[in-house]
Chains A and B, each alone.
Chain A
Amino acid sequence: MSPKTMLDKVWDRHVVHQAPGEPAILYIDMHFVHEVTSAQAFDGLRLHGRRVRRPDRTVATMDHNVPTWERSRPSTDAIAVKQMEALARNCDEFGVTLYDLHSPRQGIVHIIGPELGLTQPGMTIVCGDSHTSTHGAFGSLAFGIGTSEVEHVLATQCLRQMKPKSMEVRVEGSLPHGITAKDLILSIIGRIGVDGATGFVIEYAGEAVRALSMEGRMTVCNMSIEAGARAGMVAPDETTFGYVEGRPHAPKGEAFARAVEDWRSLPSDPGARFDRVERLEANDLAPHVTWGTNPGMVAPVSGRVPDPGDMPSEHEKRAAQRALEYMALSPGTAIQDIGVDRVFIGSCTNARIEDLRAAAQVVQGRRVHPHVYAMVVPGSMAVKRQAELEGLDRIFRDAGFDWREAGCSMCLGMNPDVLQPGERCASTSNRNFEGRQGKLGRTHLVSPPMAAAAAVMGHFVDIRDWSDQP
């Protein structure tokens, strides 16, 4: 038998039906649902008199438009409330488990899935959200879908899918001190471009990837979509099994041992062929900061804002000109001379406990710059509790950060947390599109330590030079 990639293996296990020349009917093991992309799907079910086929494999939460102020204070957005109420009603009617605003398990859908042990190696996982790629960190095949497909999965527990192509991104060496998974993925996107992996599933491999924690792997897989990839995957190993074991929905005892045995068969076979291979060296990686209006417009912190005139094509030149105009930046400006008004530490990319620890270490004993408003939005209520247990909230509050409740918050600004026109933000989120964090807001994507340091200094700094002593 010819050697298989991990994608081949997970794919093959889930094919329910394959007619020649047609998309496969692929079985979906886990379907995550949130308030913004599901209402029309449930309506569709009602319209056709259909039920949710597997409520036991469907889990819902509220994250996109929830306010992050104290839970006792209601949302002031009547339309958002209507959307949350619709989700609650739909979950009740169709028998779907919901972690609502007042649940201790509420949080960003891509943070609670892994946290609860719902995300496991070898699974197929979908959600009406593009950052579903996060879950691929466990060696699952996880991707975002639209609302019509959400309805399709609710009704059939399957999806019609063409098999994507495979790409291996192999990162050799080890990440230098101060360089995070975020810098790694930003550099990969900068290199292959925002459509560099369209039609592909990326498998991240190599020494530097193996050395990442599950949190780091999730950050990398999370942003696979920003390179256009259908999904990102990392082969499961002891790090993965250690993370999954003991979580509420993970298999227990003998069943866990059997599951691990099975999961060990998932990694790509030696000699497996990928449709495309990219290789990177981790050793000389620098902290990265985006300067433009997509995640591929990125530079090392020691660098400068590029000159659109130096771009290789007419299209890129015009896109860069447009981006610099929107971002109010001049070519040649040193990245470290860019000042910020706001700092956002949060999102499904970087709001897990490890991210908050890394940011807290940077701000400990320091103060947020007087011209900066900075906030930390934990990715889930469980992350928030853990952070408070470790005293991280005190470190942030003492430094002048706002400490919030869990949600997507200013990553996409569907709730009251938005940038004002012209405000410039250092953000640990995943998209620096025009208006993403608020109309005419300007977003620079960075790692949590880089965001924390920018909050203190009021401009970007090279975290490699940061002293542990204030």
Chain B
Amino acid sequence: MNPFTSHTGLVAPLDRVNVDTDQIIPKQFLKRIERTGFGQFLFNDWRFEPDGQPNPGFELNDDRYRAASILLTGRNFGCGSSREHAVWALHDYGIRVILAPSFADIFYANSLGNGLLPVSLPEDQIRELLHRTERQSGYRLTVDLEQQSVSDDHGFHTRFEIDPFHRYRLLNGLDDIGLTLQHEDAIAEYERQTAEAMP
């Protein structure tokens, strides 16, 4: 996993609540056995008309937001199916940060494991950022994981919370499995003890 320290990018609004992973990547695209190439299918049923043409009403098809790398959205983002393909699709499309009032648990964990930073901000701050995105074309934000801050060039600045362990892992791009395997002795000891207790 590549380290995530700080990211500055164009912001796209997706002002909807409860965006589920079936919308992020519909099931017909889950049959690939690789981790790559899912970006083309991101939000497929919202992004494209039934005839395959881009849906002009969908936010990410708006010329202003085509190059966005930060997604600004409503609460409970990523609910539903555990499919990590949703995170792979967002990342492959070019999204690096998602700002929302809240995230579904499995989606949140999947994001962290792939260097996609989910940032929870209070509802009123998300509202404020949506207003700013709407008012200023080319609106950009800087999300700094080291400082745990979100800021723009026009006076917006806030801090966000993230679990220190997750932060450390992302900053250093560490492999989770490698970290756990450092505790091999403890795992083996646990297995020995439980085997004795319940033969």
Contacts and interface: CB of A to CB of B under 8 A. Distances in A.
Nearest to B110: A146
Contacts of B80: 130, 225, 431, 433
9 contacts: A16-B186, A80-B31, A148-B176, A156-B181, A195-B18, A198-B102, A412-B81, A439-B45, A440-B45
A65 B31 contact: yes
B45 A128 contact: no
B28 to A, nearest CB: 7
A254 B26 CA distance: 49
Interface string A18-50: 000111010100000000110110010000101
Nearest to B180: A156
Given A17-B187, A27-B194, A294-B79, 18 more contacts: A16-B190, A17-B183, A25-B187, A27-B191, A40-B35, A65-B31, A82-B33, A129-B82, A130-B81, A148-B113, A155-B177, A156-B187, A157-B191, A230-B105, A294-B18, A412-B27, A435-B22, A440-B45
A39 B82 CA distance: 15
A146 B183 CA distance: 22
Interface of A: 16-17, 21-23, 25, 27, 36-37, 39-40, 43, 48, 50, 64-65, 77, 79-80, 82-83, 86, 128-130, 143-149, 151-152, 155-158, 160, 162, 164, 194-195, 198-199, 225, 228, 230, 259, 262, 294, 315-316, 318-319, 322, 412-414, 421, 431, 433-436, 439-440
Contacts of B85: 147
A148 B190 contact: no
Given A25-B187, A146-B87, A194 B31 contact: no
Contact of A145 (B35, B102, B109, B177): B109
B74 interface: yes
A262 B198 CA distance: 10
Given A198-B76, A228-B76, A439 B183 contact: no
B34 interface: yes
A434 B22 contact: yes
A148 B74 CA distance: 25
A258 to B, nearest CB: 8
User: In the complex, which of the residues A230, A259, A434 has the most CB atoms of chain B within 10 Å of its own CB atom?
Assistant: A434
B72 to A, nearest CB: 14
A421 B49 CA distance: 12
